[in-house]
Amino acid sequence: MKISKKIIDKILRDNKFSLKIALILDIQQTSVRALARSNSDKLGHAKLVEFYKEEGFSEKDIWSK
């Protein structure tokens, strides 16, 4: 499943949010933004889903329909 537009927009607009994702995945922040622009499956990594929930997103908010 793909990540929702809500999460993609948050990654592209919120510097700290995308930086935290970069730290979790151990990649550069610019790479995280590139993953968001292409709506990569890597953004659905289990560690990231847990992080999204910690940031206040529900299961419905995380996944696109």
Q: Which amino acid is at 58?
A: S
Task: Assign residue 18 a region (left: φ > 0; alpha: ψ between -120 and 50; beta: otherwise).
Answer: alpha
Domain chopping of the chain, boundaries:
5-60
Instruction: Give dist(CA 58, CA 28) in Å, integer.
Output: 26
So what's the pLDDT on residue 63?
Answer: 96
Q: What are the pLDDT digits (tens) for 19-58?
A: 999 999 999 999 999 999 999 999 999 999 999 999 999 9
